[in-house]
Chains A and B, each alone.
Chain A
Amino acid sequence: MSTKKKKVWMNKQRKATATAIRIDPNIVLTVKDLVKTYTVGNTTITALNKVNLTIRKGEFIAIVGPSGSGKTTLINCLGALDFPDSGNIIYNVDAKGMGLDIMKMTNKQHKKMRLRKIGLIFQFYNLFPILTAYENVELPMVIDKKDLKVREDRVKSLLKRIGLDERMEHLPTQMSGGEQQRVTIARALVNEPLIILADEPTGELDTETTTNIMKIFLDLKNSGESILMVTHNIRIAEIADRIITLTDGEFTGEKKGGKSIDDIYE
């Protein structure tokens, strides 16, 4: 977005206040006609072209597509890290059917969404290298000014859940890629988000480590978490409930998944 366009957008955002709408309490996220374009020189690139998507509570959705198909743009827009041109992104913010559109939120509301309602996982882990595993997981709660005792209980239980409770004092440089990605999963879960958004979570990992990370994703799904994962790895996508194909910014196909982790490499 150009600086001018951005300013207009920001001003519009400042004036706007999202009004709550009633939605189906079993739906976590509804995306309607989402459009995102980029202008590079004189060329306008349509990264997302009228994307529609509904994610139900506890659903695990995989979006597959080659690089440049718009996968990361989609994650960034849904994660309030980037700003779409038009459309709606409605989150069930209280998990009871109170729908709020992030397109109509103020900057402050966006910040709250990122810290409390959305758990983001990135390809390159994005851990802060000078902080230990414990501190990296704790980070969103520190920024959110949560009580020390609350933080301690939550961080410890999450590190235990992902099997790194023995390594909480270790720095990212002392961990393998798979271990670092597990730390980011714990960090994404720390504020009990409505949904996990994962951008190529296994892009940097070997097959065995990929399988282990996907086992954690399945475990999260089975305990009721809602997950949206984008990947170019069509094999691992098969374990999701639904697999949606993204081509040149448009959804071009959908199929059922639900394969077991042992079946995907056959």
Chain B
Amino acid sequence: MRISKKRKEQDIAYHEVKDYELDPGAMIETFDLTKIYNITEGIEIRALNGVTIDIKTGEFVSVMGPSGSGKTTLLNMIGALDNPTDGAVYINRTNIAHMDDKQRTNLRLKEIGFIFQFYNLVPVLTAFENVELPMIFAGRTKQVIEKNVNKFLDLVGLSDKKDHLPSELSGGEQQRVAIARALSNEPSILIADEPTGELDTKMGTEIVNLLRELNLELNQTILMVTHDPQVGNLAERMLKMRDGKIIETVITNK
């Protein structure tokens, strides 16, 4: 059992890194994933309470539940944006806990594309520059960057707005830019946290349909969190969460 000094310093409670039996067809697997936040001394919140899920390559899965049910915490663990208190996350059959900081950064930049509720675009950069960002940080060549920015802005239908700033775009357009940015490094997985949370029904449906197209045409694996049942229903499989646990799995036959 090797726990790096840095991890210890960051106070991450990987008491032990167990290895689990894996499903060969899975893109994402979690085992007994648990996250405990210590609010003040003696008071702890169990945001995740033993979550085990298995998402296959090319699957479109939604996670539904009321606020506080642990949805975003689950995404943050799978996306290596936060560390679990216990349990394990495997991406492409690799245990994230075995990765060092550099490998995790690579995972976040290249293997996973993130889409957030508030778009999180950089306001002083144009659509083009926002889409460029993950590729610049991943060290891609100028040719690849130029090619992929154009390709993905075209895919989301915004090639005529690449010089626009986020403040000049509607919410739906900003989320499209965010989707192009998430796709820019051609990741294995797309993770979307309430992607329609700030949009009206029409724009929201457009965004989810775009995600469905990506899933059907490019076989993109997608994990999406939402509290909207209509949005959640558009995925192939819906996981319902409450109090940090998966309480039900619904196959939607989509």
Contacts and interface: CB of A to CB of B under 8 A. Distances in A.
Contact of A142 (B118, B124, B136): B136
Contacts of B167: 76, 81-82
A214 interface: no
Interface string B134-145: 101100000000
Nearest to B6: A169
A145 B101 CA distance: 25
B123 A126 contact: yes
A140 interface: yes
A129 interface: yes
Nearest to B72: A173
B36 interface: no
Nearest to B119: A126
A122 B136 contact: no
A52 to B, nearest CB: 23
A111 B127 CA distance: 13
Interface residues of B, number: 27
B101 A169 contact: yes
A173 B167 CA distance: 24
Nearest to B129: A143
Nearest to A126: B123
Interface in A89-126: 107, 111, 114-115, 120, 122, 124, 126
A173 B124 contact: no
A38 interface: no
Interface of A: 76, 79, 81-82, 107, 111, 114-115, 120, 122, 124, 126-132, 135, 139-140, 142-143, 169, 171, 173-174
Interface of B: 76, 79, 81-82, 101, 105, 108-109, 114, 116, 118, 120-126, 129, 133-134, 136-137, 163, 165, 167-168
Given A111-B126, A143-B136, 12 more contacts: A81-B165, A115-B124, A124-B118, A126-B120, A126-B121, A126-B123, A129-B116, A129-B120, A130-B108, A135-B137, A140-B124, A143-B125
5 contacts: A114-B124, A130-B114, A130-B134, A132-B105, A135-B137
